[in-house]
Amino acid sequence: MEKSSTLTGSKSLCFHCGDTVRGEQVVHDGKLFCCSGCKIVYEILQQNDLCNYYSIQQTPGISPSPIEISRFSFLNDEKIQQQLLDFSDGKTASVTFSLPTIHCSSCIWLLEQLYKLDNGIIQSRVDYLKKQVAIKFDIKKTSLKNIVVLLSTIGYEPELQLDAVDKKMESEITRSLYYKIGVAAFCFGNSMLFSFPEYLGFDATEMFLRPIFSYLNLLLALPIFFYCSADYFVSAIGGLRKKIINIDVPIALGIVLLFGRSAYEIISQTGPGFVDSMSGLLMFLLLGRVFQSKTYDRLNFERNYKSYFPLSVRLKKNSVETTVPISSLKKGDRIIIRNNEIIPADGMLLRGSAAIDYSFVTGESTSIEKVLGELIYAGGKQSGGIIELEVTKEVSQSYLTQLWNNFNETVREKGQLSELSNSVSKYFTIVVLIVSFGVLFYWLPKDVKTAVNAFTGILIVACPCALAISIPFTLGTTLRIFGRNNFYLKNNSVIETLSKIDTIVFDKTGTITHAQQSSAEFVGDKLTYEEVQATYSLAKNSIHPISKMISDQLTGEQVTVENYSEQIGSGISGTVNSKIYKLGSRPFIKNGIILKGNINETRTYLSIDDEVKGYFLIKNLYRDGLDDVLSSLSKKIHFSVVSGDNESERVKLQSIFPVGTELQFNQTPTDKLNYVKSLQEQGKRVLMIGDGLNDAGALLQSNLGIAVSENVSQFSPSSDAIVSGESFGKIAQFIKFASLSMKIVVASFVLAFIYNSFGIYFALQGQLTPIMAAILMPASSITIVFFTTISTQLFAKKRGLL
Amino acid sequence: MAVIALLIGFSFIIAVGFLAAFLWSVKSGQYDDKYTPSVRMLFDNDKEIK
């Protein structure tokens, strides 16, 4: 490993991962790397002629986090293997891993060349959108563990979960939708052809063809009625049972009448029937479904704490270490936790120095030191050396699990159905039924045939196909536009909820502040270059988050630090060039002068040879665009901030947020949930924006929960939407665009009504002919499709969202 | 004109054939991943670098 001072330019990027190189530089093969991890990956790829990886896309790599191979030894356990493997026949096996770090085409290329890195791998296929790789391997030549280790070394550490929800179910649903569309399109096309002669008129010599065509049509109507429409019947009946007239009720009614009247006309040879209109109707309805079923496969909105937990843990029994699944942990077991591992169960610290990072549970960024005999709650991540714990509660009884289960119990089920479409369809159905029965009774005494024709005609032509597809097409387009702006919604109905909220509750840490990028500002005497170097090297020795923050802030070469020592919870010290450097809390630095200031801010003092040089002030940075969000929404929306932190930032928050904003500090997860609930009891529609598991309850309780995540494919608590940190400033725009989309939906409803009343006008007189229906119904659907998608896109462009 | 009945029979059979092909393609998973194949086909085949 060489070190170079010629490459100290501030904008030097790592050849592998493209990160700005900070601190220590690694140069290999004439290329600059940010860490030795990146260099190792480069070396592996270079040895195997896989450098094409770097030519497909610039700096495609992922900086691998340091791994310990022993961490994966549980993969040799047969039971765990059985749960992970998709298939195994004793010779070959296949497994599907979810790799959250897949992000570019170079990733696809490299992951499909895995057989070059491990000759036991037969084939690997990537599904880019799902961020998965399916690997087929020879179990004699390699093992599951080897593959996982290989993937982790090159930066693609798989997300291993035993309770992973089976995604296959979902793909079955999409597939069945495709089958239905295929069948509907086939019937639509053919029945149109078979209906043309009828519309154009038969010559006397061709009259014999007429029954052939109409019976063929009837044949085509069967799969449409019994197969393609099944979902609508189920949903309509389900709705009626719950005493809700949903949009599928009039649709199902229309389909039944279309089929019934067509069958009657064809069998009695009194007319050609409406089979073409019926199959066209189903095709458009199903297309709308596909359009709205666009989901973000790679995102998981339902994640719970389990997906964050390890699969297994090292158990120590009679000084022998074994790996066991966490579910089999019992009270009194002794477990061993290494650096960067997560504590799976509540336990008492028996050995080692623990610095636990609870950022996942509490959103707090600083880690907490624990002393021997202290209780450590599950969910924390150990940073530092090896620790030994005695399990005090089983995993299912632990604090975190209890917390989670409480949330899920207290939170009501969120409505999935669209309020707007339901209320419209209710009135629509009632009006249509009144009109059709009115017409029936008006005609009955005069002419039974016209009466039946008019009655069925109205129900057929009023079938709200255009109405039913305006929501999926408008909101589906909006969903895609949001997706492009890194705002991912769970489903369509979230847009409607978003357009109606009147209160926003923010979490503080990680939500309105950056979780990771807190800045460490040095306040005090000016340091010489030599001193900066020494401080940098000293801080580099420790893995404590504050030390890391300080070493990231400083740039320099690493110099030798002698007599390095770390005093947990206090600070670090070492000798550089025969001067004693100390970094740490006030009591740790001897002769520390009392500097005035707010004690709630985190300060880390620096002393050289017992002379205090100053301190590093650790501040949280607020996200860009927070001002914009607040200023453009403050007229209509009330804000609140709930924070698990102390009040140190109260003054600052008051200066940022508009007057009247409620600020709540020292809130536990349950407090947050109750706060949201109390707002809802006042009749508010609450949008909760949070990031950690500590917000999970509030996110679930709120009318709409948005999780802010720096990396959308990584953990975020269950929520209705996920927004990436960089798009946080656009939230105001998103809310406004959501209400605009709802206006477009209403406008397209009006359009659909115009078409409908046109058709009803003819139907009233019993004059609705099949050809009229065949033109009117598809025409209205096509108009709606174009109107909604084009207008939504145009507005998005105007607002700078496209 | 009886020939038209025959033609319709044929056209229907062909259409059924296409429908079957479509259903088969869905079943075989062609619609499960609509993105990756579009990238995969652009990769060069391995060149032997000596």
The domain ranges of chain A are 1-63, 69-160, 170-296+416-474+740-798, 305-410, 475-514+622-739, 519-619
Looking at domain A519-619, its CATH class is: alpha beta
Place of tokens 């229906």: A773
Residues of B in contact with A49 (CB under 8 A): 49
For residue A353, the Cα-to-chain-centroid distance in whole angstroms is 36
The highest-confidence range among A168-182, A205-219, A228-242, A359-373, by mean pLDDT, is: A228-242
Q: Does pLDDT of A599 surpass 50?
A: no
Question: Which residues lie closer than 8 Å to A460 by C-beta, 6 or more apart?
Answer: A254, A257, A258, A261, A274, A277, A763, A768, A773
Chain B hits for A129, CB-CB cut-off 8 Å, are: 33-36
Is A130 within 8 Å of B33 when comparing Cβ atoms?
yes
What's the rounded mean pLDDT across residues A230-246? Answer: 89
Residue A279 pLDDT class (50, 70, 90 cuts): very high
Residue type, A300: N
> Is residue A412 scored above 50 in pLDDT?
no
**Residue A163's pLDDT band (cuts 50, 70, 90):** low
Compare A587 and A376 and report the one with higher pLDDT: A376
pLDDT at A222: 96
A69-160 placed in CATH 3.65.10.10: no
For the stretch A721-760, pLDDT in tens is 888 888 888 999 999 999 999 999 999 989 988 888 888 8
Mean pLDDT of chain A: 81
Q: What percent of chain A has pLDDT over 90?
A: 18
Chain B partners of A206 at a C-beta cutoff of 8 Å? 1, 4
Q: Given B11, B23, B40, which is nearest A182 (Cβ)?
A: B23
Query: Is the predicted pLDDT of residue A395 greater than 80, yes or no?
Result: no
Average of pLDDT values for A11-15? 75
Residues in chain A: 802
Within A242-321, residue ranges assigned H as helices are 248-267, 275-292
> Per residue in A447-500, pLDDT tens?
888 888 889 888 888 888 888 888 889 988 998 899 888 888 887 888 988 998
Which residues in chain B land under pLDDT 70? 1, 45-50
User: Any residues with CB less than 8 A from the CB of A779 and at least 6 apart, and which?
Assistant: A755
Q: Is the pLDDT of residue A597 over 50?
A: no
Q: What confidence score (pLDDT) does residue A413 get?
A: 47
pLDDT attached to residue A596: 46
ipTM, two decimals, is: 0.88
Interchain CB distance below 8 Å, B42 and A108: no
What letter does residue A508 receive in the DSSP assignment?
I
Contacts of A223 in chain B (CB under 8 A): none
**Predicted local confidence at residue B22, as pLDDT:** 95
Closest residue by Cα to residue A504 from A710, A657, A717 = A657
Which residues does chain A have within 8 Å of residue B15's beta carbon, measured at their own beta carbons? 186, 189-190
Structure tokens at A783: 């108009």
Higher pLDDT: A412 or A75? It is: A75
The residue ranking higher by pLDDT, A486 or A306, is A486
Place of tokens 């037969």: A122
Q: Which residues on A lie below 8 Å from B17 (Cβ)?
A: none
Pairing between strand A347-351 and A375-376? antiparallel
Q: What's the pLDDT at A384?
A: 74
Residue, of A283 and A38, whose pLDDT is higher = A283
* pLDDT over threshold 60, residue A502: yes
Question: Where is average pLDDT lowest: A3-17, A275-289, A473-487, A732-746?
Answer: A3-17
Distance to chain A for B35, nearest Cα, Å: 7
* Interchain proximity B12–A216, CB inside 8 Å: yes
Task: Give the closest-approach CA distance of B32 to chain A in angstroms.
Answer: 7
Of B5, B33, B34, the CB nearest to A212: B5
Min distance B34 CA to chain A CA atoms (Å): 8
Structure-model confidence comparison of residues A702 and A417, the more confident one: A702
Which pLDDT score, from 0 to 100, does residue A204 have? 78
Tens-digit pLDDT profile for residues A187-220: 999 998 888 888 887 777 778 788 888 898 999 9
Concatenating the DSSP letter of every residue in A384-424 gives SS-EEEEE-S-GGGSHHHHHHHHHHHHSPPPP-S-HHHHHH
Closest-approach residue (CA) in chain A for B23: A179
Looking at residue A598, what is its pLDDT?
Answer: 47
Q: Using the structure block, give the residue that is written with the tokens 């014999």.
A: A208
Q: What is the pLDDT of residue A794?
A: 95
Which residues of A make CB contacts under 8 Å with B? 49, 52, 56, 105, 108-109, 112, 125-130, 171, 174-175, 178-179, 182-183, 186, 189-190, 193-194, 205-206, 209, 212-213, 216
pLDDT, tens only, A30-58:
888 877 778 888 888 888 888 888 877 77
At the topology level of CATH, where does A305-410 sit? 2.70.150
Coil, strand or helix at A224? helix
A160-164, A221-225, A619-623: the lowest-pLDDT one: A160-164
Whole-number Å distance between alpha carbons of A672 and A301: 20
Instruction: Search chain B and give the residue with CA nearest A179.
Output: B23
pLDDT band at A319 (very low <50, low <70, confident <90, very high): confident
Residues A373 and A349: beta-carbon distance below 8 Å: yes
Closest CA to A45 of A56, A53, A57: A53
pLDDT, position A507: 87
In the predicted structure, residue A393 carries a pLDDT above the cut 80: yes
pLDDT surpasses 60 at A132:
yes
Residues of A in contact with B23 (CB under 8 A): 179, 182
- Give the pLDDT of residue A252: 92
Query: Which range is least confidently modeled, A322-326, A352-356, A612-616, A784-788?
Result: A322-326
Which carries the bigger pLDDT value, residue A657 or residue A519? A657
- Residues 6 or more apart from B41 whose CB is under 8 A from it? none
Cβ–Cβ < 8 Å for A151, A117: no
Q: Domain A475-514+622-739, what architecture?
A: 3-Layer(aba) Sandwich (3.40)
The pLDDT confidence band at residue A1, using thresholds 50, 70 and 90, is: very low
Q: How far is A230 from chain B (nearest CA, A)?
A: 18
Query: How sure is the predictor about A793, in pLDDT bands with cuts at 50, 70 and 90?
Result: very high
Shortest Cα distance from A129 to chain B (angstroms)? 7
Amino acid type, A254: G
